[in-house]
Amino acid sequence: MIQLYWERFRQNKLAVAGFVVIVALTFLALAAPWLCPIDPSLQSLIERLQGPSRAHWLGTDDLGRDVFSRLLLGTRISLSVGFVAVGIEILIGVTLGLCAGFFGGKFDTFVMRLVDIMLSIPAIFLILTVLAFLGPSIYNVMVIIGLTSWPSLARLVRGECLSIREREYMLSAKGAGIPTPRLLFVHLLPNVVAPILVSATLGVGGAILTESALSFLGLGVQAPTPSWGNILEIGRNYLHIAWWLSVFPTLAILVTVLAFNLLGEGLRDVLDPRT
């Protein structure tokens, strides 16, 4: 079965390209502290706002810091936010979706009304409101993005569970007296892994975009820690004389989010039995 999935996945060249980019970015994120040619926090005012050169491959910022090194270290920050936020989303969304779809009744009604309320509030406004009270930091950003992203996943998992719980093998397992935890995590959960995996892959790209937007607004990762969003925020003030401060972080965000989206779409095509 795995061989069949792999053969189908290989036929989607865009998905393979997205997977290769994500693997490369993950390696860069893990090895960033050792790959940075210059200390990302090293300031040199006499070299401020210099364009790309041999000494500084992607130029310098307003404090003379090396943009390439800061972008490289920012890769670790962005991917960390994406993976941690999606991990929180999966933990909450899958748990509530499984239980709502399996048990039904009042619990299902409660969870779905909670989902409706969460989806009716614009996520970015909710995140901004919470961060205004808690204060901006990378840890708050991770948690808040995860806590505001689970409703869509919970609704997706709940819909899959409503269909699966009425199938013959599930009814037979219930009739055989199998304990509820085993029914949930052994018989039910493996059958909803495919949509969860696709949703999680797409969710990482969305979390990276949200973190970049928050950092651009000054409510995300705080200086001197580099992130793609706060590098963009600096570049906004020097767009007419230092184009590299805006172009290169934008390209990094574009390539990363596009890679996750391509991989997610490829996994959807491979894992969806209707295709």
Q: pLDDT per position in the chain (275 positions), as tens? A: 677 777 788 888 898 999 999 999 999 999 988 888 888 888 888 888 888 888 888 889 888 899 999 999 999 988 999 999 999 999 999 999 998 988 888 888 999 999 998 888 888 888 888 888 888 888 888 889 998 889 999 999 998 888 887 777 777 877 777 887 788 887 788 888 888 888 899 899 999 999 888 888 888 888 788 889 888 888 888 888 888 899 999 999 999 999 999 998 888 888 765 55
Q: What pLDDT does 164 receive?
A: 82
How many residues in the chain?
275
pLDDT the model gives residue 127: 84
**Cis omega (within 30 of 0) on the bond before 195?**
no
User: What pLDDT does 72 receive?
Assistant: 92
For 218: left if phi > 0, alpha if psi spans -120 to 50, otherwise beta; the answer is: left
Check residue 272 and give its pLDDT: 67
Residue 14 · residue 269 · CB < 8 Å:
no
Tokens found for residue 115: 């989902």
> 60 in helix, strand or coil?
strand
Residue 168 confidence (pLDDT): 79
17-28+60-271 maps to CATH 1.10.274.100: no
Provide the angle, in degrees to the nearest 10, between the axes of the packed helices 2-10 and 244-271: 130
- Can you list the pairs that 173-178 forms with residues at least 24 positions away whose Cβ atoms lie under 8 Å? none
Residue with structure tokens 């819909």?
159
Cβ atoms of 51 and 173 within 8 Å: the answer is no
CB under 8 Å to 96, separation ≥6 — which residues?
Answer: 111, 150, 154, 158
How high is the pLDDT of residue 32? 86
Give the per-residue pLDDT at 51.
Answer: 84
pLDDT the model gives residue 237: 84
Distance CA 62, CA 40 (A): 13
Tokens coding 18 = 């997205």
Residue ranges covered by each domain of the chain = 17-28+60-271
212: three-class secondary structure by DSSP: helix
β-bridge mates for residue 66, sequence order: 60
**Residue 64 region, left (φ>0) first, then alpha (ψ -120 to 50), else beta?**
left
What is the pLDDT at residue 62?
Answer: 85
What is the pLDDT, as a whole number, of residue 1?
63
